């Protein structure tokens, strides 16, 4: 951490809750270059030879282990593209803490494109956290485009929690998943946009296996003149369960376009979707204001609670 500026240290804390370089498995990337990585006897992190990125190998039967994989950008004009591929061995249970923060005080755009693939073997469990943040007073954009591809074998579980906590100028968030017998996928996305920021989120999940299931939940808040587009498609090809939920709060002149879709290709598929977009209820504000909060404070409290849950 001694090689990092105060701004860089603060970004790491915000996106990955890192106050120092971890002693276990990790990869730290700054301004398009690797700043270091570490492996353990259970988790091996290897730089790719043919392109930018890393391969992460988790040995079978690895339990209760975690890894940190943050990315930070603190310069204008950075155009970063990285490929990270995860291979999770049978009967493993691991936690992955990722995230990307951009601090751009220049007039040039900075961009991070992260292409991630997850390969879960039988009976594995992965908890994946990803937090995105943009900040800086410059006119240059802070652009984050994550692409995630998930392949789950029998009885594997993938829980994915993503949080875009503001300041990101533009973002395209793409997630695709394929599930075999008994596999389970849970995705919780939380997005905040302000000013004229734009976000497009797209989920596509194939429930190919018997007794596979997917639950996709999106909570979003669009303020000022920002715009969000949410698209999802769960395809049931067997006896399976799938649900999509999109809840949004609109403030000022924000806009949210939600298109949840389910595609049943088996008579035994049970799929459902729902979408709700609206403003903050007046009675919620009134109740909090009677406790001594201003309207602005009450609004902020409601938004934070909505995005965290």
Report pLDDT digits (tens) over 176-225: 999 999 999 999 999 999 999 999 999 999 999 999 999 999 999 999 99
- Please check whether residues 213 and 294 belong to one and the same domain: no
- Please check whether residues 153 and 288 belong to one and the same domain: no
pLDDT digits (tens, 9 = 90+) for 240-251: 999 999 999 999
CA distance 216 to 39: 32
Report pTM.
0.94
Inside any domain, residue 1: no
Q: Which residues have a Cβ under 8 Å from the Cβ of 253 and sit 6 or more positions away?
A: 224, 225
> Pick the residue with more confidence: 274 or 286?
274
CA 111 to chain CA mean position, Å: 16
How many structural domains does the chain have?
2
- Please check whether residues 22 and 139 belong to one and the same domain: yes
- Please check whether residues 142 and 235 belong to one and the same domain: yes
- Please check whether residues 233 and 252 belong to one and the same domain: yes
Strand partners, 78: none
Inside any domain, residue 303: yes
- Please check whether residues 23 and 39 belong to one and the same domain: yes
- Please check whether residues 276 and 306 belong to one and the same domain: no
Give the domain extent around 298: 284-309
- Please check whether residues 113 and 223 belong to one and the same domain: yes
- Please check whether residues 234 and 106 belong to one and the same domain: yes
Q: Is 126 exposed, middle or buried (0-12, 13-18, 19+ CB in 10 A)?
A: buried
Strand partners, 164: 132, 191
- Please check whether residues 276 and 291 belong to one and the same domain: no
- Please check whether residues 87 and 225 belong to one and the same domain: yes
* Contact predicate 97/17, CB 8 Å: yes
- Please report the beta strands in the chain, taking only residues with DSSP state E, as ranges in sequence order: 25-30, 33-38, 43-47, 53-58, 63-73, 79-88, 93-103, 110-120, 125-135, 142-152, 157-164, 170-179, 184-193, 198-207, 213-222, 227-236, 240-250, 255-264, 269-278
- Please check whether residues 169 and 262 belong to one and the same domain: yes
Least confident of 215-229, 257-271, 294-308: 294-308
């Amino acid at each position: 951490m001694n090689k990092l500026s105060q701004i860089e240290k603060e970004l790491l804390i915000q996106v990955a809750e890192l106050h120092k370089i971890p002693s276990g498995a990790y990869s730290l990337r700054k301004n398009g270059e690797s700043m270091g990585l570490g492996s353990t006897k259970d988790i091996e992190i290897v730089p790719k030879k043919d392109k930018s990125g890393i391969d992460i190998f988790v040995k079978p039967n690895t339990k209760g282990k975690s890894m940190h994989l943050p990315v930070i950008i603190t310069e204008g004009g950075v155009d970063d593209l990285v490929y990270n591929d995860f291979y999770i061995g049978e009967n493993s249970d691991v936690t992955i803490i990722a995230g990307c923060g951009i601090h751009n005080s220049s007039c040039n755009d900075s961009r991070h494109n992260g292409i991630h693939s997850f390969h879960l073997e039988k009976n594995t469990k992965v908890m994946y956290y990803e937090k995105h943040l943009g900040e800086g007073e410059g006119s240059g954009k802070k652009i984050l485009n994550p692409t995630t591809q998930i392949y789950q074998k029998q009885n594997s579980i993938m829980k994915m929690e993503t949080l875009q906590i503001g300041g990101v100028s533009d973002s395209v968030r793409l997630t695709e998943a394929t599930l075999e017998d008994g596999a389970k996928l849970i995705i919780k996305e939380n997005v905040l946009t302000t000013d004229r920021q734009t976000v497009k989120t797209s989920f596509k999940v194939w429930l190919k296996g018997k007794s596979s299931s997917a639950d996709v939940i999106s909570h979003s808040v669009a303020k000022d003149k920002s715009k969000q587009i949410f698209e999802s498609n769960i395809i049931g090809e067997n006896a399976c369960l799938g649900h999509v939920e999109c809840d949004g709060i609109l403030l000022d002149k924000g806009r949210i376009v939600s298109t949840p879709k389910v595609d049943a290709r088996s008579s035994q598929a049970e799929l459902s979707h729902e979408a709700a977009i609206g403003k903050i209820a007046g009675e919620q504000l009134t109740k909090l204001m009677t406790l001594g909060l201003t309207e602005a404070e009450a609004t902020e409290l409601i938004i934070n609670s909505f995005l965290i849950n």
